[in-house]
Chains A and B, each alone.
Chain A
Amino acid sequence: MKVTIIGSGPSGMHFARTALERGQAVTLIDLGNRGPQPPLKGSAYAALKSALPDPVSYFLGDDYNGAELPAAPGAPPSAYYRMPPSKAHVFARPPQFALTEDGLYPLISFAAGGLAECWTAGAYPFDDTDLADYPFGHTELAPYYAEVARRIGVAGRADDLSGFLPVHGHMSEPIALNDASASLLTKYERKRHRLNARHEIRLGRSRQAALSLALGSRDGCTRCGRCLWGCPNGALYTPAQTLADCLADPRFTYVPGRYVSHFDLAPDGQIAAVVSHPAAGGAAERHGADAFVLASGALNSSAIHLRTIWHARRETPRLGGLMDNRQVLAPFYNPAMLGRAHNPASYQYHQLAVGLPAKGRGHYVHGQITMLTNGSVHPVIQQLPLGLRTSRQVFAALRSGLGVLNVNFHDTRRAENYVALDPDRTDATGTPVLKLRYRPTEDEPERIAGAMTAMRRFFFDLGAPLVPGMARIRPMGTGVHYAGTLPMSAVAQEHSVNASGQSHDHPNLWVVDGAALPFLPAKNLTFTLMALATRAASKMF
């Protein structure tokens, strides 16, 4: 069978790898932007600032976009994520692409490896509660989680969080904790009985797709603190690594540099070919295959699906059910670290996590704890209501104990949140552009307040209180876990797929990214996307 996949993100790559392992020939079409190799492999974060010829350009960019300035009065709020210049390619958009946003401001990637070239590697398996609206439970997914963990290295431990985070096969030893996280975990372990008696929240090690020990050609983490700018050692998993593995397989054909517009349909509703243009612009080209796999990220897969309908019938339906995780950021301070030096030798992302269990119809709330080990400090320093000189000193004194709790909330599919084509705006080829619309539920403020109160009390009793008045609800889109627009459905209705991702609209099409999720738990979804893609390919071949 000839299989053509669109997209080289985590979903596409794990589908491809599984298909190759099962003896299939695979073609992967992708826009495939590439970025620079991380420089000076042996240097830690701070050392780069002395060793690079022009560190200011490396860290702030030639356009100085890495500098986070206070917003001028009346100016629109600045971008909610400030990505480092070395990751600019991950978010670069081709000229063909345009978007109308209303209530949700997404990050979109056309990179080789997709959004996860810049992810924070949180890899959390869904449990039966999370999967309640899915056509299967955790037992069905468990072998695929184990398989993905074997491929990419997922680290974690059985601990108090295991009640929410199932322990899966091939879980590896996590990277050593940084000082600040270790201090927090020690506190938790010391007060565990009291905390567990008083609170429902549990704390434990995070689950991370990052290696403490070498695996294949990838080195173990050296705690150099450069994760955000690009791991020079390959310890932090990114899908480009799987792409490199696949490229070594002669049955794998990679076709980068192409922007996929839509599918040509055969009269029977099957897909006949995928229609793409060179990224730089130019004539359309058609690739035929027996089976087609949409793995372009939930939003782009939806767009390709919608453009297919528009080209076939000039219709612009809405795909309801768009979801993303709401995030709340709350800084906290661990006074046990006061007066202790800040130790920069650290893995940069979250090493601890907290979970607030589902109760009644309420869903599980997921929290990730990141310490301020390495990274730009000017965005933090300027937040203090003090002159910058004093702010710098205060920050230096408190830094070793400062952390951020990132609280994530589940989302449900609702008809009023949709993606569609915008009839009022067309791209260069005359096709209407993608439009997103999102509104939170009415009870959201109440849900957030409830969970944050629980978090506040827990962190207070833990001895690392949240900084009062500093918690921030982030705009929709910051979750970067877009899902739900072509969901798994037991009934064969339009704009949906079956339990293996096979489309109910076009029988030779599989949707294996976030679009197919019928419910979005609070946990980061990418580990599940990779497991689902692996499962879909295993069922197919």
Chain B
Amino acid sequence: MTGTIFITGGAGLVGTALLNRLRQSDARLKLLLRTSALKAPRAARDQVIWGNLGDPSTYGARLKGVETVIHLAATTGKAAPQEFRRINVDGTAELLRASKRAGVKNFLFVGSIAAGYTDTRYYAYAESKRQAEKLVVESGLRCVILRPTLILGRESSIWKTLTKIATLPVVPLFGGGKVLVQPVDVADVVRAITTILEQDWFAGETFELGGKDAMPMRAFLDLVHRSCAGGPARFLPMPLKPVQHLLALVEPVARKFLPATAGQLCLFANSSASGRNRLWEALEPDMPTTADLVARLSKVRVPARPQEAPRQPTPDDVLTREARIFANYICGRGITSDISDHYLKAARTLAIDHQPADRFDRMTLAFARRGVGFAWLADSYAAIFNRGGMLRRRMVLLMSILENAPSSHGLFEQSPSRGPVAAVLKLGLSGIAETGVLVMATAIFVPVRILLALSSPFNR
């Protein structure tokens, strides 16, 4: 690996791991980074181009002399459909045009297994990746497409979300969980890229890349649950399509707060197992099994030091974290330390700082603490079916503090002058979002309540 390599998305999950590897080679690296990655570690030798994929004027001239482009950057996760299109499709088109103009020889595009999904309703990401692949193949450059499946790594947000979901007291399982998954280690994605570079496999091929073994989603979630929480997972079967429709309905206003989008749930509707190909066959012997990979990652999550016992979060830690999440849910912003201090003191003074005795109360509280979207789901349910429960009491207490604290009181005083039409529209949108969340919350919590009621009391 010599010559100059231009890399987009170098600060992401794959990018970080790839750079660590390439910096040990003789290749000269040019990195297109957004200023949001300002704090990412960089080597002195790297040439950094501060720019944006959406704006070729920020990087076009710097493609001169580049031999290979590795295009990793993409909008991933929860974004609006037009954002996927703008960055993943239009951004890729611009990059291809600029590459051709600059005389770039090779183009490595990291696509996604989702580009091959058959059911991609609501999944703007998959659609954007599919279109981008097409642009790459038709560009006339020497190119190759790598389609990873689920990429697991210690920093992978997918892994974080997975462990959150898989360690819930009851794990929601959409559509039966029969579809196959074949997660791949981020290290193997890096190996795949370096193999392509070394072997000069730029012959317009598409390589799907999964890990060593494929398994049904249900078995995979069970595996994650066993290694993170111990014991088998308890599943809550949920219908996939209705939940997707609902999510799609509320997404335009509530995307930021939802635990997952309708599109992301396509993972439960499509097989994500990779086909066999010469690249996979070359790498497979050294790949970890999925069970080993999960075991390794779950250990990384809680580093067990031989001497010291791992620090258990104190009750104060739990309340402080909870205050941060609840505040973010209620007013969409973080909190200052005076607010969390008051929250701790108030919860103690009013004697609502203890673990609730009621099992359902305990469960909803734990659920809500997982994040803003979870808090919304739990609160939306509690607002109707469990008003006096611990969750509501704590949230209202926090709200009473937020209402009076210097940094947040303004939010409770403003009521904008926007005219009657806009006000009605805004109310309507809030209403739709809330209804969607409530329906989803009911679908989650009613069965849980029944399950809890049916299970024997010694389970407490």
Residues of chain A touching chain B, judged by Cβ–Cβ distance below 8 Å, are 46, 49-50, 54-56, 58-60, 63-64, 66-73, 75, 335, 338-342, 344, 376-378, 381-382, 384-394, 396-400
Which A residues are CB-close (under 8 A) to B424? 338-339
In contact, B346 and A378 (Cβ under 8 angstroms)? no
Which A residues are CB-close (under 8 A) to B406? 49-50, 55
Q: A340 vs B332: C-alpha distance in the bound complex, in angstroms?
A: 23
Instruction: With both chains docked as a complex, state the minimum distance between the C-beta of A5 and any C-beta of chain B, in angstroms.
Output: 40
Instruction: With both chains docked as a complex, state the minimum distance between the C-beta of A178 and any C-beta of chain B, in angstroms.
Output: 14
In contact, B392 and A70 (Cβ under 8 angstroms)? yes
Which A residues are CB-close (under 8 A) to B416? 341, 396
B419: interface (CB < 8 Å): yes
In contact, A390 and B346 (Cβ under 8 angstroms)? no
Q: A506 vs B389: C-alpha distance in the bound complex, in angstroms?
A: 56
Which A residues are CB-close (under 8 A) to B409? 46, 49-50, 55
In contact, A70 and B338 (Cβ under 8 angstroms)? no
Residues of chain B touching chain A, judged by Cβ–Cβ distance below 8 Å, are 257, 329-332, 338-339, 342, 345-346, 349-350, 352, 376, 379-380, 383-384, 387-389, 392-393, 395-397, 399-401, 403-406, 409-424, 426-427, 430-431, 433-434, 437-438
Besides A339-B424, A377-B403, A396-B412, 19 other CB < 8 A contacts? A56-B401, A56-B405, A58-B404, A64-B397, A67-B396, A70-B388, A339-B419, A339-B421, A342-B414, A342-B415, A344-B413, A387-B434, A388-B399, A389-B257, A389-B329, A390-B433, A390-B434, A393-B426, A394-B430
Between A and B, 17 residue pairs with Cβ closer than 8 Å are A55-B404, A55-B406, A56-B405, A59-B403, A64-B346, A67-B397, A69-B393, A339-B420, A339-B423, A377-B412, A378-B412, A387-B380, A387-B437, A389-B330, A389-B332, A390-B380, A391-B383
Which A residues are CB-close (under 8 A) to B376? 387, 389
In contact, A385 and B413 (Cβ under 8 angstroms)? no
Given A63-B349, A388-B396, A389-B376, the answer on whether A71 and B404 have CB atoms closer than 8 Å is no
Which A residues are CB-close (under 8 A) to B350? 64, 67, 69
Which B residues are CB-close (under 8 A) to A335? 420
Q: Out of A56, A68, A338, A396, which one reaches B338, CB within 8 Å?
A: A56
Q: Could you count the A-B residue pairs with CB atoms below 8 Å apart for me: how many are there?
A: 148
In contact, A397 and B415 (Cβ under 8 angstroms)? yes
In contact, B396 and A72 (Cβ under 8 angstroms)? no
Which B residues are CB-close (under 8 A) to A64? 345-346, 349-350, 397, 400
Q: A477 vs B339: C-alpha distance in the bound complex, in angstroms?
A: 35
In contact, B423 and A338 (Cβ under 8 angstroms)? yes
Which B residues are CB-close (under 8 A) to A50? 406, 409
In contact, A339 and B422 (Cβ under 8 angstroms)? yes
Q: A70 vs B406: C-alpha distance in the bound complex, in angstroms?
A: 24
SS of B interface (majority): helix
Q: A339 vs B350: C-alpha distance in the bound complex, in angstroms?
A: 38
Q: Out of A59, A63, A342, which one reaches B413, CB within 8 Å?
A: A342
Given A342-B413, A344-B413, the answer on whether A385 and B403 have CB atoms closer than 8 Å is no
Q: A59 vs B402: C-alpha distance in the bound complex, in angstroms?
A: 11
In contact, B330 and A75 (Cβ under 8 angstroms)? no
Q: A75 vs B352: C-alpha distance in the bound complex, in angstroms?
A: 13
Q: A54 vs B406: C-alpha distance in the bound complex, in angstroms?
A: 8
Q: A66 vs B417: C-alpha distance in the bound complex, in angstroms?
A: 30
Q: A344 vs B412: C-alpha distance in the bound complex, in angstroms?
A: 12
Q: A393 vs B376: C-alpha distance in the bound complex, in angstroms?
A: 14
Q: Out of A63, A70, A341, which one reaches B396, CB within 8 Å?
A: A70
In contact, A385 and B417 (Cβ under 8 angstroms)? no
Closest-by-CB residue of B relative to A402 is B415
Given A49-B405, A378-B403, the answer on whether A388 and B427 have CB atoms closer than 8 Å is no
In contact, A382 and B404 (Cβ under 8 angstroms)? no
Which A residues are CB-close (under 8 A) to B349? 63-64
In contact, B396 and A378 (Cβ under 8 angstroms)? yes
In contact, A72 and B393 (Cβ under 8 angstroms)? yes
In contact, B399 and A390 (Cβ under 8 angstroms)? no
Which B residues are CB-close (under 8 A) to A46? 409-410, 413
Q: A67 vs B414: C-alpha distance in the bound complex, in angstroms?
A: 21
In contact, A73 and B400 (Cβ under 8 angstroms)? no
In contact, A60 and B404 (Cβ under 8 angstroms)? yes
Which B residues are CB-close (under 8 A) to A59? 403-404
Q: A73 vs B391: C-alpha distance in the bound complex, in angstroms?
A: 13
Which A residues are CB-close (under 8 A) to B393? 69-70, 72
Which B residues are CB-close (under 8 A) to A377? 403, 412
In contact, A384 and B383 (Cβ under 8 angstroms)? yes
Q: A64 vs B339: C-alpha distance in the bound complex, in angstroms?
A: 13
Closest-by-CB residue of B relative to A399 is B415
Q: A389 vs B438: C-alpha distance in the bound complex, in angstroms?
A: 13
The 4 closest A-B pairs by CB, nearest first: A341-B417, A339-B423, A67-B400, A387-B380
Q: A340 vs B415: C-alpha distance in the bound complex, in angstroms?
A: 8
In contact, B380 and A378 (Cβ under 8 angstroms)? no
Given A60-B404, A394-B427, the answer on whether A70 and B399 have CB atoms closer than 8 Å is no
Which A residues are CB-close (under 8 A) to B329? 388-389
Instruction: With both chains docked as a complex, state the minimum distance between the C-beta of A374 and any C-beta of chain B, in angstroms.
Output: 9
Which A residues are CB-close (under 8 A) to B330? 388-389, 392
In contact, B346 and A67 (Cβ under 8 angstroms)? yes
Q: A340 vs B212: C-alpha distance in the bound complex, in angstroms?
A: 62
Q: Out of B352, B383, B388, which one reaches A386, CB within 8 Å?
A: B383
Q: A400 vs B419: C-alpha distance in the bound complex, in angstroms?
A: 12
Instruction: With both chains docked as a complex, state the minimum distance between the C-beta of A501 and any C-beta of chain B, in angstroms.
Output: 45
Closest-by-CB residue of B relative to A342 is B415
In contact, A60 and B401 (Cβ under 8 angstroms)? yes
Which B residues are CB-close (under 8 A) to A394? 427, 430
Closest-by-CB residue of B relative to A384 is B383
Instruction: With both chains docked as a complex, state the minimum distance between the C-beta of A382 and any C-beta of chain B, in angstroms.
Output: 5
Which A residues are CB-close (under 8 A) to B410? 46
Closest-by-CB residue of B relative to A335 is B420
Which A residues are CB-close (under 8 A) to B438? 387
In contact, B400 and A68 (Cβ under 8 angstroms)? yes
Closest-by-CB residue of A relative to B417 is A341
Q: A50 vs B405: C-alpha distance in the bound complex, in angstroms?
A: 8
In contact, B395 and A388 (Cβ under 8 angstroms)? yes
Closest-by-CB residue of A relative to B406 is A50
Which B residues are CB-close (under 8 A) to A68? 396, 400
Q: A209 vs B419: C-alpha distance in the bound complex, in angstroms?
A: 36
Q: Out of A63, A340, A382, A385, which one reaches B384, CB within 8 Å?
A: A385
Instruction: With both chains docked as a complex, state the minimum distance between the C-beta of B173 and any C-beta of chain A, in angstroms.
Output: 25
Which B residues are CB-close (under 8 A) to A60? 346, 400-401, 404
Given A49-B409, A376-B403, A393-B430, the answer on whether A339 and B417 have CB atoms closer than 8 Å is yes
Which B residues are CB-close (under 8 A) to A339? 417-424
Which A residues are CB-close (under 8 A) to B419? 339
Instruction: With both chains docked as a complex, state the minimum distance between the C-beta of B402 and any C-beta of chain A, in angstroms.
Output: 8
Closest-by-CB residue of A relative to B412 is A377
Q: A69 vs B427: C-alpha distance in the bound complex, in angstroms?
A: 26
Q: A66 vs B401: C-alpha distance in the bound complex, in angstroms?
A: 10
In contact, B415 and A386 (Cβ under 8 angstroms)? no
Instruction: With both chains docked as a complex, state the minimum distance between the C-beta of B403 and any C-beta of chain A, in angstroms.
Output: 5
Q: A56 vs B350: C-alpha distance in the bound complex, in angstroms?
A: 15
Q: Out of A70, A338, A344, A390, which one reaches B387, CB within 8 Å?
A: A70
Q: A46 vs B404: C-alpha distance in the bound complex, in angstroms?
A: 9
In contact, B380 and A56 (Cβ under 8 angstroms)? no
In contact, A388 and B400 (Cβ under 8 angstroms)? no
In contact, A397 and B426 (Cβ under 8 angstroms)? yes
Which B residues are CB-close (under 8 A) to A67? 346, 350, 396-397, 400-401
Which B residues are CB-close (under 8 A) to A396? 412, 414-416
Q: A434 vs B420: C-alpha distance in the bound complex, in angstroms?
A: 55
In contact, B379 and A388 (Cβ under 8 angstroms)? yes
Instruction: With both chains docked as a complex, state the minimum distance between the C-beta of B426 and any C-beta of chain A, in angstroms.
Output: 6
Closest-by-CB residue of A relative to B434 is A390
Given A67-B346, A70-B387, the answer on whether A392 and B412 have CB atoms closer than 8 Å is yes
In contact, B433 and A400 (Cβ under 8 angstroms)? no
Which A residues are CB-close (under 8 A) to B431? 390
In contact, A386 and B396 (Cβ under 8 angstroms)? no
Q: A3 vs B137: C-alpha distance in the bound complex, in angstroms?
A: 106
